[in-house]
Amino acid sequence: MTLREQVLEQVLALPLTDQAFVARAVSNHLIRHLPPETEESESDEAALLSELRRRSASYRAGTTTARDAAEVMADLRNRQSSEPMK
């Protein structure tokens, strides 16, 4: 088992709130540190990396604002709780 597989296994063994914390931290790190895109690919992973690179470049250039993930999730939960049940 590779180190990254071991780390993933450990993260998935954490309580959901801790998994969410790790996911937010990794996502924020990737957005801030991915280098600008150098080549295109059609795969889903490449599309995700492309989007992360685009957002990272925009963030570094100051052309977009950032919101704390906890604030975004709270807004989504509030919006969901106010929607009528289907």
Helix (H) or strand (E) holding 19: helix 16-33
Q: Which of 58, 53, 10, 5 is nearest to 30 (CA)?
A: 53
* pLDDT at position 65 over 70: yes
Structure tokens at 19: 């998994």
| Contact in structure between 56 and 32 (CB atoms under 8 Å) | yes
Task: Give the residue extent of every domain in the chain.
Answer: 3-82
pLDDT for 12-50, tens place per residue?
Answer: 999 999 999 999 898 888 878 877 655 544 567 778 888
Q: Of all residues in the chain, what percent carry a pLDDT higher than 70?
A: 86
